[in-house]
């Protein structure tokens, strides 16, 4: 029996509900299946997003700015719904069921999108160039069907992405040194498979959309998700599962509620008098930052009474929280300034799949006899990510280790590099757009294909793409390593909300600039036809905002101080409801 238990993985169980056997569950085989479903998800979502703006402009006949906002709102909602997926995984379903259910939802959404682009009644009639009349825009019903399909996909994407990386990391035991190293390698491969799926989307899938038909391309997305679901289910017997630990959102609100109720309570001089009931090995050492939250751990009369007024052996969690629970909330609070200053990067990223694609559609895209699809220009974006990762792993890391003795840049340094690169990328985009507009003015703004090479857009794609390679891995590392163990899924969701808010900020800025700059005789910076606008001004605005944001990030990065590891855990545990308030100096948040 002892030999059998030595193979069991702590906190994990198999598909039967028994302790997970290390030799039969987990490891690279089931992790590879999970990587497969993430690649299919990226193929599906990005295959739709990167070329959706051309469909909205050319087929649905929407204005340029409106089309850009439809795309950014779709992507923003996808990542915002990661919070819902994380909540369901933590509280009720567990990660495996969450991934499986929402993968089915995404497959159904892509199938509906394929059907909606196939049926002629669900799109407006083509423009008639012989008539001097404006193109007929899509009706509310036609847009309603399109929105229903898109937001069904967004729901599936959000639920799936919130748990797929966590399900993959569950296949490795972080208490085993060998498997812990494998888990680190898993996250690198996870981002590689994301990039691989995106690469296939912006090359093969975009070509199919433009040359064969969108309904065929979206059908491929639906079929790939179906295959991924079958592969995911095929590995059920080999996965390691983790039990749902309850929602960390409830945990956070309990600490805040208890602290608010004890606003007038005094903190003790000795932190050992604060309430603690966590096991010795799982305790988080007390810190002085955000001291007002410590009041949630001050014991007062009534903390050990239930809702009926009867004395209980355990405290009411909405009145009294342990020091460890309070410190976990503090850890999440420390992440917020860095979280807020990474949002603007994803606003610049949004331009790469909206206005940059529209720029490419007006430029010379010939490669011999082959016409490069406008949406496929994002291949340079993905190439920049893959090249940056390779250079970082093979060149920068060895040199940095030799010079500084450290295995590469830390998470905050990588985020800083990503912010700098994206700022340069927006400046390059502004200069390229100025040149494109000068050509449009010279040959006529109504010219369908301007005599300027699309390769002038490569610098902006490359710089922002390289920025993503640094900022995505930096953010993922930062939010996972600096968050409490019990809140890993939530911290992943928090990281993904930066993408969501970045896309929503893009929509807000586009709408704001459109309304502010448009006048009676001109459409302003963001005209329906970008040849008549001043898109370069918008890019310069984003460059300025990115620069200001970088300064704010540096301030937040200097302020951020992770809690130091301390072996002197709090040993005092109050076990009854007769505790008293202790006098002491109160620290402010």
Q: Give tens-digit pLDDT for 93-113.
A: 888 999 999 999 999 999 999
Q: Check whether 9 has a pLDDT greater than 90.
A: no
Q: Check whether 571 has a pLDDT greater than 70.
A: no
Tell me the two tokens of residue 250.
């409830």
pLDDT at 512: 92
Q: Give the whole-angstrom CA distance, residue 182 versus residue 174.
A: 9
Q: Range with the lowest mean pLDDT among 15-24, 178-187, 529-538?
A: 178-187
Q: Which of 372, 360, 348 is nearest to 471 (CA)?
A: 348
Number of other CB atoms surrounding residue 399 within 10 Å: 10
Q: Across residues 192-215, what is the average pLDDT? A: 86
Number of other CB atoms surrounding residue 473 within 10 Å: 24
Q: Check whether 285 has a pLDDT greater than 50.
A: yes
Instruction: Assign 521 to helix, strand or coil.
Output: coil
pLDDT at 16: 82
Residues paired with residue 522 on neighbouring β-strands, in sequence order: 519
Q: Across residues 53-75, what is the average pLDDT? A: 87
Percent of the chain with pLDDT over 70: 91
Note whether 482 and 415 are within 8 A (CB): no
Most confident of the following: 9-18, 68-77, 282-291, 416-425: 416-425
Sign of torsion over alpha carbons 310, 311, 315, 320 = positive
Tell me the two tokens of residue 488.
């890993």
**Between residues 416 and 189, the one the model is more confident about:** 416
Q: Could you tell me the maximum CA-CA distance found in the chain, to the nearest angstrom?
A: 88
Q: List pLDDT tens digits, range 84-94.
A: 888 888 778 88
What's the half-sphere exposure (Cβ side, CA atoms, 13 Å) at 346? 24
Q: Provide the 8-state DSSP code for 293.
A: G
φ/ψ of residue 20, rounded to 5 = -70, 130
- Angle among Cα 67, 73, 74 to the nearest 5 degrees reads 90
pLDDT at 131: 66
Q: Write out the CATH class of domain 8-246.
A: mainly alpha
pLDDT band at 581 (very low <50, low <70, confident <90, very high): very low
pLDDT at 589: 59
Q: List pLDDT tens digits, range 397-452.
A: 788 778 877 777 888 989 999 999 999 999 999 999 999 999 999 998 888 888 99
Q: Is 10 left (phi over 0), alpha (psi -120 to 50) or beta?
A: beta
Q: Check whether 585 has a pLDDT greater than 70.
A: no
Q: Give the whole-angstrom CA distance, residue 241 versus residue 14.
A: 6
Number of other CB atoms surrounding residue 431 within 10 Å: 16
Q: List pLDDT tens digits, range 126-171.
A: 887 666 677 888 899 999 999 999 999 999 998 888 788 888 888 8
Q: Across residues 266-283, what is the average pLDDT? A: 82
Q: Across residues 33-55, what is the average pLDDT? A: 86
Q: Which of 78, 360, 74, 368 is nearest to 202 (CA)?
A: 360
- The residues spanned by each domain of the chain are 8-246, 248-328
Q: Give the whole-angstrom CA distance, residue 466 versus residue 349.
A: 11
**Between residues 179 and 244, the one the model is more confident about:** 179
Whole-prediction pTM value? 0.78
Percent of the chain with pLDDT over 90: 22
Q: Which of 484, 54, 473, 511 is nearest to 282 (CA)?
A: 484
pLDDT at 147: 93
Q: Give the whole-angstrom CA distance, residue 128 versus residue 561.
A: 63
**Between residues 140 and 370, the one the model is more confident about:** 140
**Between residues 131 and 522, the one the model is more confident about:** 522
Note whether 456 and 425 are within 8 A (CB): no
pLDDT at 587: 45
Q: Across residues 21-31, what is the average pLDDT? A: 85
Q: What's the CA dihedral at 112, 114, 120, 126 to 10 degrees?
A: 130
Helices 458-481 and 177-200, interaxial angle, to 10°?
Answer: 150
């Amino acid at each position: 029996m002892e030999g059998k238990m030595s193979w069991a993985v702590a906190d994990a169980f198999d598909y039967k509900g028994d302790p997970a056997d290390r030799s039969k569950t987990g490891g690279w085989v089931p992790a590879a299946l999970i990587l497969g479903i993430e690649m299919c998800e990226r193929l599906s979502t990005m295959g739709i997003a990167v070329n959706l703006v051309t469909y909205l402009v050319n087929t649905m006949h929407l204005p340029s700015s409106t089309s850009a906002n439809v795309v950014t709102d779709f992507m923003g909602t996808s990542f915002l719904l990661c919070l819902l997926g994380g909540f369901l995984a933590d509280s009720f379903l567990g990660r495996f069921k969450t991934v499986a259910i929402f993968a089915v939802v995404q497959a159904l959404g892509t199938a509906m999108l394929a059907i909606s682009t196939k049926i002629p009644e669900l799109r407006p009639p083509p423009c008639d160039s012989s008539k001097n009349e404006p193109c007929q825009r899509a009706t509310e019903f036609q847009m309603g069907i399109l929105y229903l399909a898109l937001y069904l996909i967004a729901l599936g994407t959000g639920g799936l992405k919130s748990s797929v990386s966590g399900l993959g990391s569950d296949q490795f035991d972080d208490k085993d040194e060998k498997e812990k190293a494998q888990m680190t390698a898993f996250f690198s491969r996870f981002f590689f498979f994301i990039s691989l799926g995106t690469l296939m989307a912006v090359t093969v899938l975009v070509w199919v959309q433009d040359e064969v038909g969108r309904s065929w391309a979206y059908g491929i997305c639906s079929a790939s998700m179906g295959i991924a679901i079958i592969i995911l289910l095929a590995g059920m017997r080999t996965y390691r599962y983790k039990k749902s630990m309850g929602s960390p959102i409830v945990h956070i609100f309990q600490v805040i509620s208890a602290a608010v109720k004890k606003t007038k309570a005094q903190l003790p001089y000795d932190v050992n008098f604060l309430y603690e009931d966590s096991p010795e090995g799982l305790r988080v050492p007390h810190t002085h930052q955000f001291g007002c939250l410590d009041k949630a751990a001050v014991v007062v009369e009534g903390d050990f009474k239930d809702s009926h007024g009867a004395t209980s052996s355990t405290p009411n969690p909405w009145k009294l929280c342990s020091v460890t629970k309070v410190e976990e909330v503090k850890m999440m609070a420390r992440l917020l300034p860095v979280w807020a200053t990474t949002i603007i990067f994803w606003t610049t990223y949004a331009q790469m799949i909206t206005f940059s694609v529209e720029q490419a559609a007006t430029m010379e895209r010939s490669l011999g006899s082959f016409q490069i699809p406008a949406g496929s220009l994002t291949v340079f974006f993905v190439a920049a990510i893959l090249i940056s990762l390779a250079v970082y792993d093979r060149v920068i890391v060895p040199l940095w280790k030799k010079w500084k003795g450290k295995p590469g840049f830390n998470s905050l340094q990588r985020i800083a590099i990503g912010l700098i690169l994206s700022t340069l990328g927006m400046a390059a985009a502004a200069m390229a757009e100025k040149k494109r507009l000068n050509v449009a003015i010279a040959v006529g703004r109504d010219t369908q294909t301007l005599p300027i090479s699309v390769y002038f857009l490569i610098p902006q794609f490359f710089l922002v793409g390289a920025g993503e390679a640094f900022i995505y891995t930096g953010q993922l590392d930062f939010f996972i390593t600096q968050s409490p163990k019990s809140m890993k899924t939530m911290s992943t969701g928090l990281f993904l909300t930066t993408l969501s808010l970045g896309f929503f900020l893009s929509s807000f800025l586009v709408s704001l600039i459109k309304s502010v700059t448009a006048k009676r005789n001109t459409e302003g910076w963001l005209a329906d036809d970008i040849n008549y606008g001043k898109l370069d001004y918008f890019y310069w605005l984003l460059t300025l905002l990115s620069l200001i944001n970088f300064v704010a990030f540096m301030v937040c990065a200097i302020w951020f101080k992770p809690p130091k590891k301390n072996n002197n855990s709090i040993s005092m545990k109050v076990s009854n409801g007769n505790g008293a308030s202790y006098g002491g100096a109160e620290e402010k948040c």
